[in-house]
Structure 1
Amino acid sequence: MNLTAIINKYADQIGGTFTEYDEHKCIIVVPLRDNRFQTVLALTEKSKVSGRTRAVFVSKVSDSVNEIDTAELLKVHANFDYSKFVIEDGNLKVVASCLAEAASEEEVKFMVQEVAQLADQYEYKLTGKDIH
């Protein structure tokens, strides 16, 4: 799978912005409703579980988890199709991942869209702002 090529093509299709860092990492800015946007980092990396290459899609929700009911977030993310909440370096993020070789182009697009929409939704719900 050429992840950056898929993301670049998708950015063109949706009127988003694409930035490539290298062959394994890129960013797409996804346009959403009400003139809102959400940045999603897409990358490939070696899985720590299987050792296989996986595609990962990440978007930041909040710079802090203070005053956030993280137990509630664990409950709601059970309803997501691909995504989950992750706390990394004190930041709350929405992350989706899959084995790179098994994902279709349509699944990649769906994961990018889901990560962007959920991160935006919870960013607004938790902070009242459009930051990321």
Structure 2
Amino acid sequence: MDYRKFSQKYAEEIGGEFREYDETQSVIIVPLKNGRFQTVTGHIVTHSGYERELVHLKSKVCELTYDVPFKECLEASKEYPYTKFIVEDDFLKVEAINFLVNLNENMVKEMIMEIAHHADDWELKITGKDIH
């Protein structure tokens, strides 16, 4: 799967925006209900142990300066087929990771939308705003 070409096409399909930073990093701005948007980043990296390419899909929820209900976030994670909560660079984020060879376009669409919806839901719940 050529993730870059796929994500560019998918952004157009959903009425979003695609931005490419380089061969391994891109962004899809996903339109959501009520005029909200969520930014989902895609990073292609080679796993050092398996020596295969991974796609890391991530979206910011909020800075850790907010009162983050970590227990609720972790409990909610069990309901998400693809995503999990992580803390990275002083942000609470939602992330999904998989080997590119294991993915098809429908799975990646589901992953992107799941990340966008859950990150946005939690962003609104924690901050009351549309930040990311």
Q: TM-score, normalised by structure 2?
A: 0.94
* Residues in 1 aligned to 2:30 and 2:120: alpha-carbon distance in whole angstroms: 10
Give the AA of the match of 1:119: A
Percent identity (aligned) = 39
Cα deviation for residue 89 of structure 1 reads 2.0
In 2 relative to 1, CA 49–92 (structure 1 residues): closer, same or farther, beyond 3 Å?
farther
* Residues in 1 aligned to 2:28 and 2:85: alpha-carbon distance in whole angstroms: 19
Structure 1 unaligned regions, length at least 5: none
Cα deviation for residue 124 of structure 1 reads 0.1
SS for the counterpart of 2:87 is strand
Q: CA RMSD in A?
A: 1.3
Alignment of 1:19-30 (within 5 A): 19-30=19-30
Q: Do 2:55 and 2:99's aligned partners in 1 also have CA atoms closer than 8 Å?
A: yes
Equivalent residue number for residue 33 of structure 2: 33
Cα deviation for residue 65 of structure 1 reads 5.6
Q: Do 1:83 and 1:111's aligned partners in 2 also have CA atoms closer than 8 Å?
A: yes
* Residues in 1 aligned to 2:63 and 2:37: alpha-carbon distance in whole angstroms: 17
* Residues in 2 aligned to 1:49 and 1:83: alpha-carbon distance in whole angstroms: 22
Alignment of 1:1-132 (within 5 A): 1-64=1-64, 66-132=66-132
* Residues in 2 aligned to 1:120 and 1:57: alpha-carbon distance in whole angstroms: 14
* Residues in 2 aligned to 1:127 and 1:65: alpha-carbon distance in whole angstroms: 10
Q: Do 1:57 and 1:97's aligned partners in 2 also have CA atoms closer than 8 Å?
A: yes
Q: TM-score, normalised by structure 1?
A: 0.94
After superposition, what is the alpha-carbon deviation per residue over 1:32-68, rounded to whole angstroms, capped at 9, x for unaligned? 0001000000111122553321111100000116521
